[in-house]
Amino acid sequence: MTSTTPTTTRHGLHLADVTLTYGDGESTVTALDAVSLDVEPGELLAVVGPSGSGKSSLLAVAGGLIPPTSGRVSVGGTDLTSVSSRRLAELRRTHIGFVFQSGNLVPALTAIDQLRLPLHLGRVDDPRDPVALLEEVGMTHRADRRPDKLSGGERQRIGIARALVTRPRLLLVDEPTAALDRHRSQEIVALLAREAHDHGVATVMVTHDHDVLHHCDRVLQMTDGTLTSASV
């Protein structure tokens, strides 16, 4: 991967005129309608909007899980829409982290082994140390616990740490506080902001939770597949 462009925005997330339609013929749905977006390294962006407005579709396209119908997506300076499927899988594994509502942890693994797992799935240049990262998310005292013995907030901390262990350029987070109480929600989004800022990770968080937006650097509103600036 080589990039000589000095434009720093290209090293976070860059979407240019991205459209995504599902289905064909009479039953097409336009989930993303000409979306352009730059997220800088170290920036935490929140995306709010009603159910069905296209928020999860935005994350899926930004993370290379679904190819856009048209437009371009680049992460860390690499155009996801022009690489081979093998290279795309590699970029997803090493450059892009995903965090889901429920943490999506592996039931049989202890907390520390959840963090080691991404490093066993293939080569990673300069990974973070799982033991130090576990401490950074405040979970050292739960290192040997499996997910069924962790609280919702603790599972979310492990899910975030696991997504960060490869030092991704881009972190995509879908409704991380949906299952948490108010206090835990604040802690989780504060943790996301700290990780984004301290480690230069471009972070996009979808949320319904307006109480956590003060942790975010920018808030955008998704409406019928279109992104606009939001008044918070």
CA dist 19 and 71 (Å) reads 6
Q: DSSP H helical segments within 137-220, as ranges?
A: 152-164, 182-199
208 binds ligand ADP (CB under 6 A): no
User: If contact means CB under 5 to 8 A according to the sort of partner, which of Mg ion, ligand ADP, none does residue 22 touch?
Assistant: ligand ADP
Residue 189: CB minimum distance to ligand ADP, A: 18
CA dist 50 and 93 (Å) reads 30
Residue 222: CB minimum distance to ligand ADP, A: 6
Burial environment of residue 130 by CB neighbours within 10 A (0 to 12, 13 to 18, 19 or more): buried
Output the CA angle 60-172-58, nearest 5 degrees: 35
Residue 28: CB minimum distance to ligand ADP, A: 9
Chain positions 39 to 68 lying near Mg ion, rule: CB under 5 A, are 55-56
Chain positions 12 to 31 lying near ligand ADP, rule: CB under 6 A, are 22-23, 29, 31
Stretch that binds ligand ADP, among 53-61, 105-113, 127-135, 146-154 (CB under 6 A): 53-61
CA dist 28 and 17 (Å) reads 19
Nearest to 173 by CA among 216, 214, 139: 216
Stretch that binds ligand ADP, among 49-57, 90-98, 125-133, 163-171 (CB under 6 A): 49-57
54 binds ligand ADP (CB under 6 A): yes
Q: Which is nearer to ligand ADP, 26 or 126 (CB)?
A: 26
Residue 52: CB minimum distance to ligand ADP, A: 4
**How would you list the strands of the sheet with 29-39, edge to edge?**
29-39, 13-22, 70-75, 78-79
* Residue of the chain from 43, 53, 165, 189 that contacts ligand ADP (CB under 6 A): 53
Residue 35: CB minimum distance to ligand ADP, A: 12
Stretch that binds ligand ADP, among 36-44, 51-59, 69-77, 187-195 (CB under 6 A): 51-59
SS (H, E, C) 80-138: HHHCCHHHHHHHHHHHEEEECCCCCCCCCCCHHHHHHHHHHCCCCCCCCCHHHHHHHCC
Count of residues in contact with ligand ADP, rule CB under 6 A = 12
Residues found near ligand ADP in the complex (CB under 6 A): 22-23, 29, 31, 49, 51-57
